[in-house]
């Protein structure tokens, strides 16, 4: 069976994001779906199957960057500091991974582990750069309000008695 589109066979492969970036985006999505509410770290970890100790480190980085705020006490937890429509997926990946996308062509020889044969005149370098820019454009233009809207069919459980509608 041949694909009907030259891109169809590419859909089986997924873009690779680090575990830290994946966990950070899942945690922010959880907070976005409950915005402006406060959510405990244990609730985020359990719902998204993220180890609590690792999530602590991720949330600390997001808090230091000003993306989330924490509150102590009985009703403590974490919440977004801005509306989900003001936070992009790219913002979170940049905070978590200190980069959004990466290609070995953009790295210097010591990071790459080998010397590029023709780094100044390589046509592939421009292709990888164009692809990287296209992915970054999508990630920075996609807000968590957009992701919440796409996730409406997979809403969070209502066991805590909260309403999980995104307030736009």
Query: Hunting for tokens 């990630």 — which residue is that?
Result: 139
* Residue 8 pLDDT level (bands cut at 50, 70, 90): low
Burial class (CB within 10 angstroms; exposed 0-12, middle 13-18, buried 19+) of 100: buried
Share of the chain above pLDDT 70, in %: 68
* pLDDT tens-digit map of 19-68: 999 999 999 999 999 999 999 999 999 999 999 999 999 999 999 999 99
Best-predicted range by mean pLDDT among 70-84, 100-114, 122-136, 147-161?
A: 70-84
Nearest CA-CA partner of 95 in 19, 41, 21? 21
Q: Rounded CA gap, 92 and 139, in Å?
A: 10
Fold for 17-102+142-154, please state it: Arc Repressor Mutant, subunit A (1.10.10)
* Residue 7 pLDDT level (bands cut at 50, 70, 90): low
Q: Parse the chain into domains and list their residue ranges.
A: 17-102+142-154
* Residue 161 pLDDT level (bands cut at 50, 70, 90): very low
């Amino acid at each position: 069976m041949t694909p009907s589109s030259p891109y169809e066979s590419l859909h089986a492969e997924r873009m690779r994001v680090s575990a830290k970036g994946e966990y950070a985006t899942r945690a922010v999505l959880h907070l976005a779906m409950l915005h402006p509410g406060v959510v405990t770290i244990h609730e985020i970890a359990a719902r998204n199957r993220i180890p609590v100790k690792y999530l602590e480190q991720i949330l600390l980085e997001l808090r230091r960057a000003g993306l989330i705020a924490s509150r102590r006490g009985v009703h403590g937890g974490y919440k977004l500091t801005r509306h989900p429509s003001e936070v992009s997926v790219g913002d979170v990946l940049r905070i978590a991974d200190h980069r959004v996308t990466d290609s070995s062509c953009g790295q210097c020889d010591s990071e790459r582990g080998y010397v590029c044969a023709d780094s100044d005149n390589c046509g592939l370098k421009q292709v990888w750069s164009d692809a990287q820019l296209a992915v970054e454009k999508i990630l920075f233009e996609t807000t968590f309000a957009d992701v919440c809207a796409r996730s409406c069919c997979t809403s969070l459980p209502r066991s805590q008695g909260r309403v999980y509608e995104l307030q736009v």
